[in-house]
Each structure stands twice: as C-alpha cells, then as structure tokens.
Amino acid sequence: MTVNVKVIHNGQEKPAPVEIVVTFEGHSLRIPVRKGRFEAPPQLIAAQKVTLETDTEGSHIRLVHLNGKDFTAESWTLRLAERANEDYYDWPGPKEGDIPSTCMLEFDSAHSDPARVLFEQHCRSKTKETGN
C-alpha cells in the first residue's frame, strides 16, 4: 500500500521526512519516504498497535496510538504548530495546553468519509542539532 504523506507546520507545507520507523509486534522497520511517499508493508497493516517515529521540522515525532489499518489510508497530513490557530491547527485541548508538544495526523482515504484525525499530546520534542 502506498501512502502519500505531507507535513504542515504553522499552516505552511514543509518537506516530508526522509524515513519513518514503525514498531509493532516486537519488530521495528525503517521505511524510506521518497518524494512524499512510502510503502506500508502488508504485515504492518494487520498489526493491532503500531508506534511511528520520525524526524521533521526540527522535531522528533513519536505517535503511539496507531493501528495497522491506519496504513491503508492513501493520504496522511501531519500537522504541527507552535500555537492554536483556527485556520490551520484546531486545538481540542485546554487553553493552557502545551501546543508545541502536540501532533495532529489526518488520515484521508477514498474508502472513508470524513477523514479520521489522530491527536496526540506529548508526541513531539526538539531534535538535537547535528551541525550537518
């Protein structure tokens, strides 16, 4: 299954990550992302619980509430923001929430309407600069 992925940070489209790491059923796989697309392995789609990690936009992202079926959605949009904004980041939490540590992942598929949205808190941390 091919998944198209894009990243929106503060309302602006940014480059997709270069790889994702998925962990399920005691296995970890590094999956390259090329031109905003990655291939979801069939064994991943059957998994009940999946953790996804990636680095993008100076942040390390770790989503722990995924299911293998999420990888059947053809299009993903990862939304990141530094503050809530009605135009690009519909924050569902309290006003004093830590928005820069949150992630919103939208799964869009021709097989489901409307798109499903996963919102996780404490899923985002700053990556260390490597100087490269």
> Does 10 have pLDDT greater than 80?
yes
Tens of pLDDT along 48-89? Answer: 999 999 999 899 999 999 999 999 999 999 999 998 887 888
Mean residue pLDDT of the chain comes to 90
pLDDT band at 129 (very low <50, low <70, confident <90, very high): low
The model carries a pTM of: 0.89
CB atoms closer than 10 angstroms to residue 78 = 24
